[in-house]
Amino acid sequence: MPRFRSFISLLLVLITTFLVSCSSPEVAIPTTYTPEKIAELQVYVKPVEEAREKLEVLKKLISDQNWVDTRTWIHGPLGKLRQDMLGLSRSLLPKDQDEATRLAREVFGHLERLDASAKDRSLSAAGVQYAEALKDYDAFLNLIPKAS
């Protein structure tokens, strides 16, 4: 079946050509942060960094077992953090976007479970969710390039 074989080899040539043309894109995707890009990011970084103080307040409310204010604090002062973190994720280089988005969602998953724990007045569950939220928040900030 020579005809079939030549068809296969033609197909292989086509696939190889396609792969080669795909692997050498004309516009290179940036993989490092330029000082300009870092400066541009600051407008998004600032509100996310400022949330640390609000997280400290939250810690105090939990240890005081002030469940009403804990829940108000999550939905009020910390309510905008989700949007700020996701906005910052989208402004990062493509190589960091997925991880940043994942961590932003993690933080909010924990804050939602913390809200549920506060509703149940469970100090131990709230403490666990708070610690996890803080850990993911710190990991998120570690992804953000610093001006040198």
Minimum distance from residue 107 beta carbon to Zn ion (Å):
7
Minimum distance from residue 74 beta carbon to Zn ion (Å):
16
Chain positions 94 to 133 lying near Zn ion, rule: CB under 5 A, are 106, 132
Minimum distance from residue 139 beta carbon to Zn ion (Å):
9
| Binding-site size, Zn ion (CB under 5 A) | 3
Asked if residue 136 binds Zn ion (CB under 5 A), the reply is yes
Cβ contacts of 111 within 8 Å, gap of 6 or more? 74, 78, 129, 133
CB-nearer residue toward Zn ion: 37 or 113: 113
CB-nearer residue toward Zn ion: 38 or 125: 125
CB-nearer residue toward Zn ion: 33 or 55: 55
CA dihedral 13, 19, 21, 22 (to 10 degrees): 160
Q: Which residues bind Zn ion (CB under 5 A)?
A: 106, 132, 136
